[in-house]
Amino acid sequence: MTSPVTYQCQDGIGVITIDNPPVNALGQAVRQGLMDAVVQGNGDPEAQVLVLVARGRTFIAGADIREFGKPPQAPILPEVIACLESSTKPIVAVLHGTALGGGLEVALGCQLRVALPDTQLGLPEVKLGLLPGAGGTQRLPRLTGIEAALDLITSGRFASAGEALELGIVDAVLEHDSPLEAGLAAARDVIDGRQTPRITGELPPPAAAPEAIECIRARLEAEVPDLFSPFRCVDAIAASSEGSLAEGLRRERELFLECMDSPQRAGLIHAFFAARAPHKVPDAGEAPAVTRIALLGEHHLFPLLKAKADRAGFELSDRPDDDTQACLVAPGADTACPAHCLRIALLSPSEAEDLDATGSAMALIVPDHQGMAELVTLSADPDQQQAVANTLKALRQGIVVSRRGSLLAALDKAVRDDRPNPNAAMDAASLMLASRGWAYRDSDIDLLAIEALDYPRHLGGPHRQATLGGHAL
C-alpha cells in the first residue's frame, strides 16, 4: 500500500509531502508516514533543511474522523510531534487552507512555520468536548503567552494568517503560488541565515498570568457553567507556566483523558456527526442544484438567500417566468406559482403542525430566529428534494431533509406545550417522531433540536438522550 506521506530531496532541501485527500486528516498511515519521512530526511546527507507541505486545498485539517471512538493505533500523535521536534535538521511547516487541531499541533512541533495568506489556524477540540491533547496547550502558550492561548483554545475559534503572525504562531506569511514554493523559499532563508529556526518546546515557559486565568474562569462560569472541557483547557494552559515541558505534557495528558471519559464528549461527538450531511436524501441520485427560483411574497429569509445567490451562481427573482424551476412561497403571497415549477411552501414551525400535501411539492420550515431549517417532501420525489436541498446548502442555509411531516414543528409544539421542561418535552417527542418515520436519520431530530430550539449540544440531542434513558450529563 502506498504511503500518504512521501519524501524527496530538491536542491539540498528535503520535502515531506502529505497527500491524504480530502483534508489530509491525521490517520494512522499519515502519522506513521510522517515519522518515517523525518527519519529518512535526517538520514539524507544532501538535505540541509526539511520542508513539510500538504497537497490539495488544505494543510492538515485535524484528526481522522474514521478513527473516532476506536482504540488508538500507534504511533499516537504526541509521539509523532516528539519526533518532529527532535529532528536533527530544522523542519519548516507550510500552512495553507486550514491548520486545525492536530494539524496545528503538528506545525507547532516543527522548527519554523510559514503560512499562505488565506490560511486559518485553530485548536477547536473544545467543541468536541476535548482539549488539544498532543502538546497544544503547552507549546502554543510558549509562542503566544497565556492570555492569547486561553482565548484561542477555550473558544475553539480560528485565527487568520495575519493574526497568527501577530501572535507569534507563524514566523512569516508568504505570497507564493503554492505551498511548495513557499516552503522552498523559507528553507533557503534558513540555509542562508535569514530565518532562525527554533524548537517550540525548548522556549521558556510563558509568564504566569493568574489574573487572565481567573478572568477566563469567571467568564466560563457565567457563559457555559455546565460544560466540562473548557475548564480542563484552562487547567492545562495554566500548567504550561508551572514547570518543564515534560511536566506540562503529563498534566495535559491527564486532563485530556478526563475529557475523553466525560459523557459530554460522547454527546458532542454525536452532534458533530449529526451535522455532517443532514441535507442528504437517501436513495436520491446525483441531483443538480435548482438554479432558478422565484421568491414569492415577503419573508425574512429572502434577503439572506439573495445575498448569497450571485456568488453561488443562482438566479433568484421576485416573479416566475418560463425558465423558473421552483417557487419558494411565503405565507400570504399573492403571486401564483406556475404548474411547471416545484412549489415549496415557506412556513414557520407553528404553521407546519398539520402539513397539507395539496398544491405543494415540499415545505420549508424556518424558525423565527433563522438557524437550521427543515425541508419536508410532500409529493416530490427524492431527486427533486435533493436538488432543492443542494440549492439551500449552496446558499449557506443550514438544512435538514425529512418526509411527510415536520420534525421541527413537532419539537417546537412540544416545547410550547411544556415550557417549564422543554428538554424533557423534546425527549418524549423525539421517540414519537422516530416511530412515525418522518426522519431519514434519527440524528436529524437531534440536530434540529440543537440548532433550531437550543437543546444543549453537549447532551447530543433529545433522541440520543431518550434512548440513553434521559440521564442528564
Read off the DSSP letter of residue 364.
E
125 is catalytic: yes
| pLDDT mean values, one per 10 residues, the chain (473 residues) | 92 97 95 97 97 97 82 93 97 98 98 98 96 97 98 98 98 96 97 95 96 97 96 98 95 96 94 94 87 93 91 90 93 88 93 82 89 93 94 94 95 90 94 95 97 94 87 42
Residue by residue, DSSP assigns 124-160 as GGGGGT---TTTHHHHHHHHH-HHHHHHHHHH--EEE
Which pLDDT value is given to residue 471? 43
Question: Looking at residue 76, what DSSP letter applies?
Answer: P
Residue in 125, 147, 252, 374 annotated catalytic = 125
Q: Give the CA angle between residues 182, 188, 192 to the nearest 5°.
A: 145
Q: Is 105 a catalytic residue?
A: yes
Say which residue the cell 450531511 belongs to.
277
Burial class from Cβ neighbours inside 10 Å (0-12, 13-18, 19+) for residue 38 reads buried
Residue 451: predicted pLDDT: 95
Per-residue pLDDT, 357: 63
- Enter the C-alpha cell of residue 300: 425574512
- What is the full DSSP assignment across 57-73? T-S--SS-GGGTTS---
Residues 6+ apart with CB under 8 A from 41: 7, 14, 16, 47, 50, 87, 89, 91
d(Cα 465, Cα 446) in Å, to the nearest integer? 9
Distance CA 416, CA 410 (A): 10
Q: In what order do the strands lie in the sheet with 315-317?
A: 315-317, 292-296, 326-329, 342-347, 362-365, 373-377, 399-403
With b for 16 or more beta-carbon neighbours within 10 A and e for fewer, the 42-70 pattern comes to: bebeebbbbbbbbbbebbbbbbbeeeeee
| Residue of 105, 147, 252, 451 marked catalytic | 105
